[in-house]
Amino acid sequence: MWTWLILAGILLALEMLTGTLALLFAGSGALAAAALAYAMPDSLTWQIAVFALATMSGTLWAWRRFLHRSSGGGDTELVGQSVVAVTPADALGQLRVRYRGSEWPARLAATGSVETGETLVLLAQEGSFLVVGKRS
């Protein structure tokens, strides 16, 4: 049990240093294996299986969530929301908008002018940019 707890501590400490979620699931798997080792001390095969299963299932969950977000499926709740222009649109159609209490960089979906204080509709999110358009 102590081996799993020490491994979990090392993995979770390294995760806190990197902040990438890469080691979080392995650390959680080691904690699950430590719990199993406490309950069933003579089950090394089961401990390794629990460690591997918890690590793989957590990693798979994060990978699928990342793929869903990067394919544009994560921004569907944004579409149709109202935003307010904080700055006028520049020549490239870029501006700053206020959405949910904070300012975001945005770009116009179509050419045109936007003035400060104008209410726009949110059409999509591309990375950290919001794509906005005029209300019809």
**1 and 34 in contact (C-beta within 8 Å)?**
yes
Tokens of residue 39, six digits: 């309950």
Residue 29's CB is within 10 A of a number of other CB atoms, namely 25
**34 and 5 in contact (C-beta within 8 Å)?**
yes
Among 28-32, 73-77, 106-110, the minimum mean pLDDT is found in: 73-77
Give 106's contacts (C-beta < 8 A, 6+ positions apart): 83, 94, 95, 96, 97, 120, 129, 130, 131, 132
User: Would you state the pLDDT for residue 70?
Assistant: 57
**Predicted confidence (pLDDT) per residue in 21-38, tens digit:** 879 999 999 999 999 999
Note the pTM of the prediction, 2 decimals.
Answer: 0.52
Q: Which residue has the tokens 């003035």?
A: 115
Residue 130's CB is within 10 A of a number of other CB atoms, namely 23
User: Would you state the pLDDT for residue 80?
Assistant: 85
At 41, the amino acid letter reads: P
